[in-house]
Amino acid sequence: MTQERTSTIQRKTNETGIALTLQIDGSGAASMQCPVPFLNHMLDLFTRHGLFNLSVEAVGDTEIDDHHTTEDIAICLGQALQEALGDKQGIRRYGNAFVPMDEALAQAVVDLSNRPHLEFNASFPSQKVGTFDTELVHEFLWKLALESRMNLHIIVHHGVNTHHMIEAIFKALGRALDEATMLDPRVTGVPSTKGML
């Protein structure tokens, strides 16, 4: 595990080109150059509330739709998180956060367990926010959980405005991951009776 817990991931396909750098122990600084404006907004919120530093430069075939770009950014972010955490020694491992956004209330619960899983309990009133397909929220979170090898539970307890609900999810995810990745001086080795994660 490096002192800065930083990772840079590059991914180039026929559909997208992604360059992403994640620093876990950051200050909430985000630099987003992505052709999916709503995803830029959500990643900015995730970064600010998780107190990470995140840089994303992305191009993609958004003339078709936002799916490939959204999916590939999630893949890169998950890989960066997994790599930056290294052997995971000294981390808290678990994180839980509730975030309200006006009428919406979202909860994110994470376990950095090396056993990828997503439970997604959210139903959005609208199929789009602007030009963004809201079904891509599930796609993003599943690929993030898979590539970071994280057990992720997302629950939207209530909400009426789709933008508010998704915003609460990304803020809660940032805060839960901040807690889970935090180094705890009381933890020796990895927080598992198995002796490894």
Chain Cα centroid distance, residue 134: 16
Tell me which residue of 160, 142, 26, 178 sits closest to 100, measured CA to CA: 160
**HSE of 22 in the Cβ direction (CA atoms, 13 Å)?**
30
CA 111, CA 76: separation in Å to the nearest integer? 19
Mean pLDDT across the chain:
95
pLDDT-based confidence at 1, cuts 50/70/90?
very low
Stretch 122-145: mean pLDDT: 97
> Rounded to two decimals, what is the model's pTM?
0.94
pLDDT band at 62 (very low <50, low <70, confident <90, very high): very high
pLDDT of residue 46: 98
CA distance 66 to 159: 24
3-state secondary structure of 68: helix
Average confidence (pLDDT) over 117-128: 98
Burial (Cβ within 10 Å: 0-12, 13-18, ≥19) of residue 112: buried
pLDDT value of position 189: 80
Q: Which residues pair with 30 in a beta bridge?
A: 54
Structure confidence by residue, pLDDT tens digits, 85-95:
999 999 999 99
Residue 129 and residue 97 in contact, taking contact as beta carbons nearer than 8 Å = no
Residue 4 binned pLDDT confidence (cut-offs 50, 70, 90): confident
Q: What angle do the packed helices 136-148 and 67-85 form, to 10 degrees?
A: 30
Residue 156's H or E segment, with its range, is: strand 151-158
Helix (H) or strand (E) holding 110: strand 104-111
